[in-house]
Amino acid sequence: MEDVFSEEDSDEDSDEDTLMVTTLDDENVMRRYESFKKFDTLVDHSDHNLLWEMEEQSASHSRGWEEIVKKQWKDLEKSLPGGIYVRGYKGRMDLLRACIVGPQGTPYHDGLFFFDMAFPSKYPEEHPVIEYHSCGLTINLNFMCGYEWLRSCIRTRKYKWEGEELWEPGTSTMLHLLVFLQKLLNEKPFFNSSYYMSYISIIENEISSIMYDECIFVKSLKTMGYIMRNPPQGFEDLVVGHFRERACDILKACKAYKDGLQVGSNVSGAGCKFGTNSITFMNDLDSCFEPLAVAFSKIGAREVADEFCHLVGIPSRIKLGES
Protein backbone atom coordinates (compact mmCIF):
# COMPACT_ATOMS: atom_id res chain seq x y z
CA MET A 1 0.00 0.00 0.00
CA GLU A 2 1.29 3.42 -0.90
CA ASP A 3 2.70 5.32 2.04
CA VAL A 4 0.69 8.53 1.92
CA PHE A 5 1.63 9.56 5.43
CA SER A 6 5.39 9.92 5.24
CA GLU A 7 6.76 13.44 5.53
CA GLU A 8 10.03 15.10 6.35
CA ASP A 9 10.33 16.36 9.91
CA SER A 10 9.95 20.07 10.46
CA ASP A 11 13.03 22.11 9.71
CA GLU A 12 11.47 25.14 11.35
CA ASP A 13 12.19 23.88 14.87
CA SER A 14 15.01 25.62 16.64
CA ASP A 15 17.22 24.70 19.56
CA GLU A 16 16.71 28.16 20.94
CA ASP A 17 13.84 28.41 23.40
CA THR A 18 11.94 31.56 22.53
CA LEU A 19 9.14 31.26 25.08
CA MET A 20 8.98 34.46 27.08
CA VAL A 21 10.79 34.06 30.40
CA THR A 22 8.46 36.52 32.10
CA THR A 23 5.52 34.29 31.21
CA LEU A 24 7.22 31.16 32.51
CA ASP A 25 8.34 32.65 35.80
CA ASP A 26 5.09 34.40 36.59
CA GLU A 27 3.23 32.61 39.38
CA ASN A 28 -0.02 34.16 38.16
CA VAL A 29 0.08 32.54 34.73
CA MET A 30 -2.57 29.95 35.69
CA ARG A 31 -4.86 32.70 36.96
CA ARG A 32 -4.51 34.52 33.65
CA TYR A 33 -5.06 31.26 31.79
CA GLU A 34 -8.28 30.55 33.67
CA SER A 35 -9.58 34.01 32.80
CA PHE A 36 -8.37 33.90 29.18
CA LYS A 37 -11.25 35.21 27.08
CA LYS A 38 -12.60 33.35 24.07
CA PHE A 39 -12.48 36.62 22.12
CA ASP A 40 -10.47 39.75 22.78
CA THR A 41 -8.49 42.39 20.90
CA LEU A 42 -4.74 43.01 20.81
CA VAL A 43 -2.59 45.95 19.78
CA ASP A 44 0.55 44.28 18.43
CA HIS A 45 0.01 42.42 15.14
CA SER A 46 3.67 42.39 14.08
CA ASP A 47 4.03 38.58 13.93
CA HIS A 48 0.79 37.93 12.00
CA ASN A 49 1.55 35.76 8.96
CA LEU A 50 -0.85 37.66 6.69
CA LEU A 51 0.28 41.13 7.71
CA TRP A 52 2.04 42.06 4.47
CA GLU A 53 -0.18 40.05 2.17
CA MET A 54 -3.21 42.05 3.32
CA GLU A 55 -1.40 45.41 3.56
CA GLU A 56 -2.58 46.75 0.19
CA GLN A 57 -6.19 45.64 0.74
CA SER A 58 -6.28 47.29 4.16
CA ALA A 59 -6.43 50.71 2.45
CA SER A 60 -9.24 49.89 0.02
CA HIS A 61 -12.12 48.27 1.86
CA SER A 62 -15.58 48.24 0.32
CA ARG A 63 -18.37 50.42 1.63
CA GLY A 64 -19.75 49.20 4.95
CA TRP A 65 -16.84 46.80 5.44
CA GLU A 66 -15.91 48.14 8.88
CA GLU A 67 -19.43 47.76 10.23
CA ILE A 68 -19.61 44.20 8.88
CA VAL A 69 -16.35 43.28 10.57
CA LYS A 70 -17.43 44.87 13.87
CA LYS A 71 -20.59 42.74 13.75
CA GLN A 72 -18.44 39.67 13.08
CA TRP A 73 -16.35 40.54 16.15
CA LYS A 74 -19.52 40.77 18.27
CA ASP A 75 -20.74 37.42 16.95
CA LEU A 76 -17.40 35.82 17.80
CA GLU A 77 -17.41 37.34 21.28
CA LYS A 78 -20.93 36.11 21.94
CA SER A 79 -21.12 32.75 20.18
CA LEU A 80 -17.71 31.06 19.99
CA PRO A 81 -18.06 27.42 21.09
CA GLY A 82 -15.78 25.82 23.65
CA GLY A 83 -12.31 25.03 22.40
CA ILE A 84 -11.94 28.03 20.07
CA TYR A 85 -10.11 31.25 21.01
CA VAL A 86 -9.84 34.28 18.75
CA ARG A 87 -7.96 37.57 18.88
CA GLY A 88 -8.63 40.62 16.72
CA TYR A 89 -6.32 43.63 16.31
CA LYS A 90 -7.32 47.19 17.12
CA GLY A 91 -5.04 48.75 14.52
CA ARG A 92 -5.76 46.18 11.80
CA MET A 93 -9.38 45.10 11.88
CA ASP A 94 -8.82 42.91 8.85
CA LEU A 95 -6.60 40.48 10.80
CA LEU A 96 -7.57 37.69 13.20
CA ARG A 97 -5.71 34.89 14.94
CA ALA A 98 -7.55 31.76 16.07
CA CYS A 99 -6.61 28.80 18.22
CA ILE A 100 -8.57 25.54 18.14
CA VAL A 101 -8.04 23.03 20.94
CA GLY A 102 -7.79 19.44 19.73
CA PRO A 103 -10.98 17.61 20.83
CA GLN A 104 -10.90 14.63 23.19
CA GLY A 105 -11.48 11.24 21.58
CA THR A 106 -9.51 12.21 18.47
CA PRO A 107 -5.83 11.89 17.49
CA TYR A 108 -5.65 15.67 17.85
CA HIS A 109 -6.56 15.59 21.55
CA ASP A 110 -4.98 18.25 23.77
CA GLY A 111 -3.12 19.94 20.91
CA LEU A 112 -3.36 23.65 20.12
CA PHE A 113 -3.80 24.48 16.44
CA PHE A 114 -3.34 28.07 15.28
CA PHE A 115 -4.70 29.86 12.22
CA ASP A 116 -3.97 33.38 11.01
CA MET A 117 -7.00 34.76 9.19
CA ALA A 118 -8.06 37.94 7.44
CA PHE A 119 -11.18 39.70 6.20
CA PRO A 120 -10.52 40.71 2.57
CA SER A 121 -11.62 44.09 1.24
CA LYS A 122 -14.78 42.65 -0.36
CA TYR A 123 -15.78 40.43 2.56
CA PRO A 124 -18.23 38.65 2.85
CA GLU A 125 -18.68 38.30 -0.91
CA GLU A 126 -15.04 37.33 -1.03
CA HIS A 127 -13.90 34.41 1.16
CA PRO A 128 -11.58 34.97 4.14
CA VAL A 129 -7.84 34.42 3.80
CA ILE A 130 -6.44 31.65 6.01
CA GLU A 131 -2.99 30.39 6.90
CA TYR A 132 -2.47 27.44 9.24
CA HIS A 133 0.54 27.51 11.59
CA SER A 134 1.92 24.19 10.37
CA CYS A 135 5.25 24.30 12.24
CA GLY A 136 6.51 22.43 9.17
CA LEU A 137 4.13 19.51 9.80
CA THR A 138 0.89 18.44 8.09
CA ILE A 139 -1.42 17.30 10.90
CA ASN A 140 -4.39 16.98 8.54
CA LEU A 141 -4.34 16.07 4.85
CA ASN A 142 -6.91 18.83 4.39
CA PHE A 143 -4.29 21.34 5.54
CA MET A 144 -1.70 20.02 3.07
CA CYS A 145 0.73 22.56 1.66
CA GLY A 146 0.00 24.87 4.55
CA TYR A 147 -3.15 26.84 3.70
CA GLU A 148 -3.50 26.12 -0.03
CA TRP A 149 -6.13 23.41 0.43
CA LEU A 150 -8.28 25.65 2.60
CA ARG A 151 -8.02 28.57 0.22
CA SER A 152 -8.74 26.36 -2.78
CA CYS A 153 -11.82 24.77 -1.21
CA ILE A 154 -13.23 28.09 -0.06
CA ARG A 155 -12.65 29.61 -3.49
CA THR A 156 -14.08 26.71 -5.53
CA ARG A 157 -16.75 25.67 -3.01
CA LYS A 158 -15.89 22.04 -3.64
CA TYR A 159 -15.77 20.92 -0.04
CA LYS A 160 -18.73 20.09 2.18
CA TRP A 161 -19.07 18.62 5.65
CA GLU A 162 -22.28 16.63 6.21
CA GLY A 163 -23.86 18.62 3.38
CA GLU A 164 -22.67 21.95 4.75
CA GLU A 165 -20.74 24.32 2.51
CA LEU A 166 -17.32 25.42 3.70
CA TRP A 167 -18.08 28.95 2.50
CA GLU A 168 -21.23 30.51 1.01
CA PRO A 169 -20.42 34.01 -0.34
CA GLY A 170 -22.46 36.75 1.28
CA THR A 171 -23.99 34.34 3.82
CA SER A 172 -21.27 32.49 5.70
CA THR A 173 -19.45 34.13 8.59
CA MET A 174 -16.04 33.85 10.22
CA LEU A 175 -17.73 32.06 13.12
CA HIS A 176 -19.18 29.54 10.67
CA LEU A 177 -15.75 28.93 9.16
CA LEU A 178 -14.06 28.44 12.55
CA VAL A 179 -16.68 25.91 13.64
CA PHE A 180 -16.20 24.13 10.31
CA LEU A 181 -12.44 23.92 10.89
CA GLN A 182 -13.05 22.56 14.39
CA LYS A 183 -15.19 19.79 12.89
CA LEU A 184 -12.29 18.72 10.67
CA LEU A 185 -10.34 17.78 13.82
CA ASN A 186 -12.47 14.69 14.38
CA GLU A 187 -12.02 11.07 15.42
CA LYS A 188 -11.71 9.69 11.87
CA PRO A 189 -9.76 12.36 9.93
CA PHE A 190 -8.57 9.92 7.28
CA PHE A 191 -12.13 9.66 6.00
CA ASN A 192 -12.24 13.43 5.48
CA SER A 193 -9.49 13.16 2.91
CA SER A 194 -9.53 12.15 -0.73
CA TYR A 195 -7.08 9.30 -0.11
CA TYR A 196 -9.52 6.80 1.36
CA MET A 197 -11.62 6.73 -1.80
CA SER A 198 -8.73 5.13 -3.67
CA TYR A 199 -9.01 2.06 -1.44
CA ILE A 200 -12.06 -0.06 -2.17
CA SER A 201 -11.64 -2.54 0.66
CA ILE A 202 -13.29 -1.52 3.94
CA ILE A 203 -10.56 -3.33 5.85
CA GLU A 204 -7.86 -1.43 3.96
CA ASN A 205 -9.65 1.81 4.72
CA GLU A 206 -9.74 1.03 8.43
CA ILE A 207 -6.08 0.04 8.52
CA SER A 208 -5.17 3.22 6.65
CA SER A 209 -7.27 5.23 9.10
CA ILE A 210 -5.46 3.76 12.10
CA MET A 211 -2.07 4.44 10.51
CA TYR A 212 -3.11 7.99 9.74
CA ASP A 213 -4.26 8.53 13.33
CA GLU A 214 -0.87 7.33 14.57
CA CYS A 215 0.91 9.70 12.19
CA ILE A 216 -1.27 12.62 13.27
CA PHE A 217 -0.64 12.04 16.96
CA VAL A 218 3.14 11.98 16.52
CA LYS A 219 2.99 15.21 14.50
CA SER A 220 0.66 16.71 17.08
CA LEU A 221 3.22 15.96 19.81
CA LYS A 222 5.93 17.65 17.75
CA THR A 223 3.62 20.61 17.16
CA MET A 224 3.00 20.86 20.92
CA GLY A 225 6.74 21.09 21.56
CA TYR A 226 7.18 23.76 18.91
CA ILE A 227 4.22 25.80 20.19
CA MET A 228 5.50 25.63 23.77
CA ARG A 229 8.86 26.98 22.66
CA ASN A 230 7.39 29.51 20.23
CA PRO A 231 3.90 30.55 21.38
CA PRO A 232 2.05 32.83 18.95
CA GLN A 233 1.97 36.41 20.17
CA GLY A 234 -1.01 37.19 22.37
CA PHE A 235 -1.58 33.55 23.27
CA GLU A 236 1.37 32.98 25.63
CA ASP A 237 -0.83 32.55 28.71
CA LEU A 238 -3.16 30.16 26.89
CA VAL A 239 -0.24 28.04 25.67
CA VAL A 240 1.53 27.81 29.03
CA GLY A 241 -1.65 27.36 31.06
CA HIS A 242 -3.15 24.79 28.72
CA PHE A 243 -0.07 22.60 28.59
CA ARG A 244 0.56 22.88 32.33
CA GLU A 245 -3.03 21.76 32.91
CA ARG A 246 -2.99 19.00 30.29
CA ALA A 247 0.61 17.76 30.68
CA CYS A 248 -0.32 14.82 32.91
CA ASP A 249 -3.09 13.60 30.57
CA ILE A 250 -0.94 14.02 27.46
CA LEU A 251 1.90 12.02 28.97
CA LYS A 252 -0.51 9.36 30.29
CA ALA A 253 -1.85 9.02 26.76
CA CYS A 254 1.69 8.61 25.41
CA LYS A 255 2.34 5.81 27.91
CA ALA A 256 -1.00 4.14 27.15
CA TYR A 257 -0.38 4.26 23.40
CA LYS A 258 3.08 2.81 23.95
CA ASP A 259 1.39 -0.04 25.86
CA GLY A 260 -0.92 -0.75 22.92
CA LEU A 261 -3.97 1.48 23.38
CA GLN A 262 -5.34 2.66 20.03
CA VAL A 263 -4.70 6.35 19.33
CA GLY A 264 -7.65 8.56 20.20
CA SER A 265 -9.16 6.14 22.73
CA ASN A 266 -10.30 7.26 26.15
CA VAL A 267 -7.23 6.58 28.29
CA SER A 268 -8.95 6.57 31.67
CA GLY A 269 -12.48 5.36 31.00
CA ALA A 270 -14.90 3.55 28.71
CA GLY A 271 -14.18 3.28 25.03
CA CYS A 272 -10.62 1.95 25.32
CA LYS A 273 -9.48 0.08 22.22
CA PHE A 274 -6.39 -2.07 22.37
CA GLY A 275 -4.60 -3.34 19.31
CA THR A 276 -1.19 -3.69 17.77
CA ASN A 277 0.23 -0.26 17.07
CA SER A 278 2.71 -0.12 14.22
CA ILE A 279 6.44 -0.42 14.83
CA THR A 280 6.95 2.90 13.05
CA PHE A 281 4.51 4.57 15.44
CA MET A 282 6.18 3.07 18.51
CA ASN A 283 9.61 4.26 17.33
CA ASP A 284 8.32 7.72 16.45
CA LEU A 285 6.58 7.95 19.82
CA ASP A 286 9.80 7.08 21.60
CA SER A 287 11.60 9.85 19.74
CA CYS A 288 9.06 12.41 21.02
CA PHE A 289 9.38 11.57 24.72
CA GLU A 290 12.58 13.41 25.56
CA PRO A 291 11.90 16.76 23.84
CA LEU A 292 8.29 16.74 25.06
CA ALA A 293 9.31 16.10 28.67
CA VAL A 294 11.88 18.89 28.48
CA ALA A 295 9.30 21.29 26.99
CA PHE A 296 6.80 20.52 29.76
CA SER A 297 9.49 20.97 32.39
CA LYS A 298 10.44 24.39 31.02
CA ILE A 299 6.87 25.73 31.08
CA GLY A 300 6.48 24.80 34.74
CA ALA A 301 5.12 21.23 34.62
CA ARG A 302 8.37 19.90 36.05
CA GLU A 303 6.95 17.33 38.47
CA VAL A 304 4.76 15.75 35.78
CA ALA A 305 7.68 15.64 33.35
CA ASP A 306 9.98 14.05 35.95
CA GLU A 307 7.43 11.36 36.81
CA PHE A 308 6.97 10.56 33.13
CA CYS A 309 10.72 10.41 32.56
CA HIS A 310 10.96 7.87 35.37
CA LEU A 311 8.20 5.72 33.84
CA VAL A 312 9.77 5.57 30.37
CA GLY A 313 13.38 5.47 31.57
CA ILE A 314 14.64 8.83 30.28
CA PRO A 315 18.02 9.68 31.89
CA SER A 316 18.06 12.35 34.57
CA ARG A 317 20.27 14.64 32.48
CA ILE A 318 17.44 14.69 29.88
CA LYS A 319 14.87 15.28 32.59
CA LEU A 320 16.71 18.37 33.61
CA GLY A 321 17.04 19.57 30.04
CA GLU A 322 20.82 19.51 30.30
CA SER A 323 23.08 19.20 27.30
Catalytic residues: 153
* Crossing angle for the helix pair 302-312 and 236-258, to the nearest 10 degrees: 20
3-state secondary structure of 97: strand
3-state secondary structure of 132: strand
Is residue 238 within 8 Å of residue 99, measured between CB atoms? Answer: yes
CA 85 to CA 223: how far, in whole Å?
Answer: 18
Strands 84-89 vs 39-42: parallel, antiparallel or unpaired: parallel
DSSP labels for 82-93? TTEEEEEETT-T
* C-alpha Rg value of the chain to the nearest Å: 20
CA 112 to CA 245: how far, in whole Å?
Answer: 13
CA 64 to CA 185: how far, in whole Å?
Answer: 34
Q: Which residues contact 203 (CB under 8 A, 6 or more apart)?
A: none
